[in-house]
A and B are shown apart, each in its own frame.
Chain A
């Protein structure tokens, strides 16, 4: 029987990070579902005349509203990448040191090849996850940019005007729409793998990954803490 390890509580995810995560999750879920409906509306006709129903308009309204929430939430998180604790900072997302790249290789070995390694894996985002989130940020902004470019002509939104240059750059609105729609599937895949990995890490490592998304606390073996 192995002797029990002493674990320490570490406050990893500060409140703004947790709030960002769940607002983001909610916004993405809303945007994804409404986006799929806008792309391929089903038939709901509870009225015979157009003047008595407005469901498709409502779905679009929800999509646009969620789009605003998604963008501004994202911007707050970008700011928090400069103001937050060591686990929230951009430096954990962008690998610059040799050690960071080493950790990426080690994470790949542990989680994909599933062999054991000696190195210590970050208690916050592991370096590979951090890098993937960093790349995801660009896709998030791509989605926001194409979304507002499409939304712009239908509103007086300043954001729409700021994104207007995207249309001539990509060719036409039909093309922007195509890519905006295709990227929706990135989120579907991302969410599938992301949610799985949360459970996987919690299951294999027992460091409280799942509950940390709510409370902010993770657990680390005392002998593995760096002081």
Chain B
């Protein structure tokens, strides 16, 4: 499949979709990209006129959960159209070609569409031991990434792996797993999550296709439209949080009543993602709705801030079970003992000084006795 020749509409027609399907897809795309209902006409126009840019989807250190998530987008046409028809010129998981053929297909696209193609990256890049921990076709992940990034019109880092390094990057990070944006000097759109929400992924890609530019990003490179609010801000259990109604154990009455999961380790208050708004699997549910706290899967280093079922993370260097509180209580006890010991020793070692001071009292001094009335 070669990209850039056809418009999205042409491809859909070829695949047998009706005009109605196309319009439906356009309004979904408009909504996914955060535009109002009036925008779907403009979206349709764009998809009718603009040639689709080719897309290269690279896979490095990852588990393919991002791809899995992507093909489960809310609108059935989306996966079909975007994955199949946006002209995915290279993706190890889904392409028909293999071996030399696949590599050639990619290098052809890189050359023919230099400066035009969209680069989607799934997975982190190992940098230790000259990158031997991830090689494809005899080349290291970093080498492949740099080559593909050079001529990309836009670069998207899918998931926590590509955005922050995810579990590979957790301490002690044996392979030197590195997020994409740390290796590339161009702007990278981070779409974190483990995996990211399908509809968010579609929204990002649609935005690029529609406007031909990258969406507004926050200071961590995440699209503002999806990552500017915490899971906690839009969580439907939030009233319970403010009311101080908490689940104490997973099988208590409070859990049945649907109280807040804060004390069960919910990371919603420190996690930026759209889960509580878009939800998962065609808007069916999301972890908190199913009674499980958020584990903060879209946050930098979320594996290192465990355990997931306790609100306070373990304190670094003090063992798995020690929280800041247990360390604090111990130090407090030590300080109390120290203070008590000091008070005792003061009374012993400074007895004379204290005694002299007391003796200075006017009533106790001989001269004063004379004038004392």
User: Are B342's CB and A177's CB within 8 A?
Assistant: no
Minimum Cβ distance to chain A for residue B314 (Å): 9
User: Are A40's CB and B349's CB within 8 A?
Assistant: no
Within 8 A of A (CB), among B245-276: 245-246, 248, 262-263, 267, 269-271
Minimum Cβ distance to chain B for residue A159 (Å): 17
Partner of B296, one of A56, A174, A182: A174
Q: Mark B282-318, 1 if CB is under 8 A from A, else 0.
A: 0000000000000010011110010000011101000
Does B241 sit within 8 A of A, measured CB to CB? yes
Give Cα A53 to B245, complex, Å: 9
Q: A114-B350, A174-B299 are in contact. Are A192 and B339 (CB under 8 A)?
A: yes
Minimum Cβ distance to chain A for residue B179 (Å): 12
Does B94 sit within 8 A of A, measured CB to CB? no
> Which A residue sits closest to B356, measured CB to CB?
A2
Give Cα A115 to B271, complex, Å: 55
Q: A1-B364, A41-B263 are in contact. Are A175 and B354 (CB under 8 A)?
A: no
User: Are A193's CB and B270's CB within 8 A?
Assistant: no
User: Are B343's CB and A56's CB within 8 A?
Assistant: no
Chain B residues whose C-beta falls within 8 Å of the C-beta of A2 in the assembled complex:
356, 359-360
Chain B residues whose C-beta falls within 8 Å of the C-beta of A4 in the assembled complex:
360-362, 365, 367-368
Chain A residues whose C-beta falls within 8 Å of the C-beta of B366 in the assembled complex:
1
Chain A residues whose C-beta falls within 8 Å of the C-beta of B271 in the assembled complex:
173
User: Are A51's CB and B346's CB within 8 A?
Assistant: no
Minimum Cβ distance to chain A for residue B161 (Å): 16
Q: A154-B233, A185-B327 are in contact. Are A43 and B362 (CB under 8 A)?
A: no
User: Are B331's CB and A174's CB within 8 A?
Assistant: no
Does B220 sit within 8 A of A, measured CB to CB? yes
Task: Tell me how many residue pairs across A and B have CB atoms closer than 8 Å.
Answer: 147
Does B6 sit within 8 A of A, measured CB to CB? no
> Which A residue sits closest to B367, measured CB to CB?
A3
User: Are A184's CB and B328's CB within 8 A?
Assistant: yes
Minimum Cβ distance to chain B for residue A137 (Å): 21
B: contact size bracket: 35 or more
User: Are B233's CB and A5's CB within 8 A?
Assistant: no
How many chain A residues touch B (Cβ–Cβ < 8 Å)?
A: 51
**Interface-side segment among A100-108, A125-133, A196-204:** A196-204
> Which B residue sits closest to A52, measured CB to CB?
B243
Q: A172-B299, A200-B343, A204-B354 are in contact. Are A57 and B243 (CB under 8 A)?
A: yes
Minimum Cβ distance to chain A for residue B169 (Å): 11
Q: A189-B335, A196-B343 are in contact. Are A54 and B243 (CB under 8 A)?
A: yes
User: Are B365's CB and A196's CB within 8 A?
Assistant: no
Partner of A171, one of B219, B241, B300, B343: B300
Q: Mark A35-60, 1 if CB is under 8 A from B, else 0.
A: 00001110111010011111111011
Minimum Cβ distance to chain A for residue B233 (Å): 7
User: Are B365's CB and A172's CB within 8 A?
Assistant: no
Q: Main secondary structure on chain A at its contact with chain B?
A: helix
Chain B residues whose C-beta falls within 8 Å of the C-beta of A174 in the assembled complex:
267, 270, 296, 299, 301-302, 305, 313
A-side residues, CB < 8 A to B, are 1-5, 39-41, 43-45, 47, 50-57, 59-60, 114-116, 153-154, 164-165, 168, 171-175, 177-178, 181-182, 184-185, 188-189, 192-193, 196, 200, 203-206
Identify 15 new A-B residue pairs, CB closer than 8 A, beyond the known A43-B248, A189-B335: A4-B360, A4-B361, A39-B312, A41-B246, A43-B246, A50-B243, A53-B244, A56-B241, A153-B229, A154-B233, A172-B300, A189-B331, A192-B332, A193-B339, A203-B346
B-side residues, CB < 8 A to A, are 219-220, 229-230, 233, 239-246, 248, 262-263, 267, 269-271, 296, 299-302, 305, 311-313, 315, 324-325, 327-328, 331-332, 335-336, 338-339, 342-343, 345-346, 349-350, 353-354, 356-357, 359-362, 364-368
Top 7 closest pairs, chain A to chain B, by CB = A185-B328, A56-B244, A57-B242, A173-B270, A182-B324, A50-B239, A50-B243
Some 20 contacts from A to B, beta carbons below 8 A apart, are: A2-B360, A3-B367, A4-B360, A39-B325, A40-B312, A41-B244, A50-B245, A56-B242, A60-B242, A114-B350, A168-B219, A171-B300, A172-B300, A174-B313, A175-B305, A177-B270, A178-B305, A182-B315, A185-B324, A204-B357
